[in-house]
Amino acid sequence: MNSKMTICVIMADMTEDYRDEYIVGIEKQANRTNCRTVVFSMPLMAEVHTNNEESVFSLIDFNRYDGVVFFEKSFAAHKSLGKMVEKDIQRKCKKPVVVIGKSDIYENVFSENNRSSFEALTDHIIDEHGCEVVYFLGGHAGYETERDAGFIDSMKKHGLSCTEDNLIYGGFWQECAEKLARDIAYSNVEIPDAVMCYDDTIASFFITSLAAYGIRVPEDIIVSGFGTRNKINNIISVTTCPCDSEYIGRKAVSKLCSLITGEEEHLISRPKTSIITGMSCGCGNNKPIDTRLKLELFEKRRKEEMYYSNSSLEEMLYACDNMADFSKVVSNTDYLIPDKNFFAVCLKKDESTSECVYMTDLVREGNFTEFPSNEICPSSLSYSSIPENSHVLPLIFDGVLYGHAVTGYNDPLVYNFLLKRYLSRLSVAIHLIKNKKYRYVQDYSDALISGQIEDFANHNFVFVVKSGTMHRVPVENILAFESEGRKTVAVLKSGRYEIRKTLIVLEEMLSGCGFMRVSKSALINLSKVTSVAPGPDRTFEVILGSKAAVKVSRKFVADFRDRIGVT
């Protein structure tokens, strides 16, 4: 791999929040000191279970790397797994290791100075806005962080009351924000002058929750966040303070390079605390460049989403019958991953062998290459062309690990959310090809011709889109399909989800599975009909499940009577 040093980075989920900036700092400093980085990460850490994502760490051959950065802080949502991974590093790795977060094993540990930053932010709310009753919102009781410690420091410094009543815990997500908003609205707690939120996400949820009760921000209550990654609430800008994540990432690599080479550590200056004021505290004097950058990011996202939605990616992938077809589709669609200059898809054949089914400019369209399953890519092909910064992520669907993907970048970049979506689609397609069942509802016609309708019905499912992710749903769980403008939605007990098929196609595919067209815009599952009532103009109103109502138009009433047995 030439004379460059290579650093292994081990972390959990990349979530597009301030934690991603650690990776930017790591990669920036590594590139400045003639190092490559290979990041091993697990994109499903938000789930309660891990679906074997930890298997991606089995690809790490520590002998290939000159040092390791273990991002312990990223395992906050799954601490037991983080401890397991750290012990595995201790057992297998004989190279220098630095840790971002906390460690009982390694001495070179780095963490941001959020205590003084949060104290400065609280000082601003108290000094500039004259607040006296101030709450801290977020986190867990009994688990003190630098943020609530900084809040307490500021309150004591100003001689303000700071007891358990001021520290409102309840987690790191929406629930704690909604509960406090409800308690304030119902006067279950003293109405505060201001609420200092653990991060920008909680602040955004809190502002939205207050608005639902008619409580205005900042007129009634001042709110602040922390971390400068507000991506949820677009109505009001949140007063916040950036974490020094990039600095910590650079600092960790600087120390690691010193441990590897024996040379003096490169000194890096800690950035000054910078408070970004927004409308949530009433200042609202954001710098113009901040607005410009946000608009540029929004436009970039809009274009990426447009490319993605117009790509017909799902249609092409789910029509693949074999890996050669799959490889061809990937070669024609990997442009959907922005900013990358290298991409490889590697699948496990057995415990000892993997197969590279696609690699940028080297492997494609059926020209597959086998290699040992404990390697990232075929060494005969990849190491001469591997980029400065590589991210290794698992390919998993339905609890099965099929392999991994490697994405490379020449420049230090935060993880791109479209990559996660792209890999999830690849995982589904691989699952369908590997299982060789009637993979999608379009196979109904083939099953009908071959006389295998019963077998098809036993394995029938469709894919629906929820929050940008494809989910497999058994057809028997679907109440109805309805058209909404140019979209088609699947109606389930849990809600309405988009499906990438028209009603005409679905009607043909599912006619032998108990579905019937009842109007121009609806196709219902007859087995889910719980009641039928006469409607106006000789129509029927059908109730599906417990509450979903669908109208049977006059054109379809006669057929519906015959199918359902209604007189």
> What's the per-residue H, E or C state across 280-324?
CCCCCCCCHHHHHHHHHHHHHHHHHHHHHHCCCHHHHHHCCCCHH
Are residues 404 and 457 located together in one domain of the fold?
Answer: no
β-partners of residue 534 are 540
* Average model confidence (pLDDT) across the chain: 81
Rounded CA separation 461/449 (Å): 19
Task: Report if residue 257 sits inside a domain.
Answer: no
Reply yes or no on whether the pLDDT at 317 is more than 90. Answer: no
Q: Residue 431: which pLDDT band, with cuts at 50, 70 and 90?
A: confident
Q: Which of 10, 63, 57 is nearest to 37 (CA)?
A: 10
Residue 222: half-sphere exposure toward Cβ, Cα within 13 Å: 26
Task: Report if residue 262 sits inside a domain.
Answer: no
Task: Report if residue 155 sits inside a domain.
Answer: yes
Are residues 200 and 338 located together in one domain of the fold?
Answer: no
**CATH classification at residue 159:** 3.40.50.2300
Q: Residue 459: which pLDDT band, with cuts at 50, 70 and 90?
A: very low
Tokens of 40: 């091993």
Among 280-284, 305-309, 478-482, 483-487, the least confident range:
305-309
Among 14-18, 33-37, 195-199, 224-228, the least confident range:
14-18
**CATH classification at residue 403:** 3.30.450.40
**Which of residues 369, 401, 435 is at a domain's end?**
435
Are residues 25 and 99 located together in one domain of the fold?
Answer: yes
Reply yes or no on whether the pLDDT at 220 is more than 80. Answer: yes
H-assigned helices in 371-475: 379-382, 417-435, 444-450, 453-458
Alpha carbon 32 to its chain centroid, in Å, reads 29
Tokens of 332: 């024609």
Rounded CA separation 363/371 (Å): 13
pLDDT at 385 (0 to 100)? 58
Reply yes or no on whether the pLDDT at 76 is more than 60. Answer: yes
At 142-161, the pLDDT tens digits run 877 889 999 999 999 999 98
β-partners of residue 551 are 541
pLDDT at 448 (0 to 100)? 38
Residue 468 backbone zone (phi > 0: left; psi -120 to 50: alpha; other: beta) = left
Reply yes or no on whether the pLDDT at 45 is more than 50. Answer: no
Please indicate, yes or no, whether the overall pTM of this predicted structure exceeds 0.75. no
Buried b (16+ CB within 10 A) or exposed e, 384-421: eebbbbbbbbbbbbeeebbbbbbbbbeebbbbbbbbbb
Are residues 180 and 39 located together in one domain of the fold?
Answer: no
Provide, rounded to the nearest whole percent, the portion of the chain with pLDDT above 90: 28
Are residues 93 and 190 located together in one domain of the fold?
Answer: no
Are residues 221 and 334 located together in one domain of the fold?
Answer: no
State how far the alpha carbon of 520 is from the alpha carbons of 52, 228, 466, 485, 495, in Å. 45, 48, 25, 12, 21
β-pairing, 461-466 with 35-40?
Answer: unpaired
Residue 437: Cβ within 10 Å count: 15
pLDDT at 141 (0 to 100)? 83
Task: Report if residue 159 sits inside a domain.
Answer: yes
Tokens of 197: 């939120």
Task: Report if residue 250 sits inside a domain.
Answer: no
Task: Report if residue 35 sits inside a domain.
Answer: yes
Mean pLDDT of 415-436: 81
Rounded CA separation 499/502 (Å): 8
**CATH classification at residue 515:** 2.40.50.1020
Reply yes or no on whether the pLDDT at 248 is more than 80. Answer: yes
Reply yes or no on whether the pLDDT at 229 is more than 50. Answer: yes
Domain that holds residue 419: 313-435
Q: Residue 451: which pLDDT band, with cuts at 50, 70 and 90?
A: very low
pLDDT at 297 (0 to 100)? 66
Are residues 126 and 24 located together in one domain of the fold?
Answer: no
Task: Report if residue 36 sits inside a domain.
Answer: yes
Are residues 164 and 287 located together in one domain of the fold?
Answer: yes
Q: Residue 200: which pLDDT band, with cuts at 50, 70 and 90?
A: confident
pLDDT at 494 (0 to 100)? 76
Are residues 48 and 76 located together in one domain of the fold?
Answer: yes
Are residues 156 and 294 located together in one domain of the fold?
Answer: yes
Q: Which of 255, 12, 224 is nearest to 111 (CA)?
A: 255
**Which of residues 229, 264, 298 is at a domain's end?**
298
At 262-299, the pLDDT tens digits run 998 888 888 887 888 888 998 865 444 455 656 666 67
**Which of residues 110, 136, 165 is at a domain's end?**
110
Rounded CA separation 140/113 (Å): 19
Counting the structural domains of the chain, the total is: 4
Are residues 383 and 446 located together in one domain of the fold?
Answer: no
Are residues 84 and 35 located together in one domain of the fold?
Answer: yes
Task: Report if residue 481 sits inside a domain.
Answer: yes
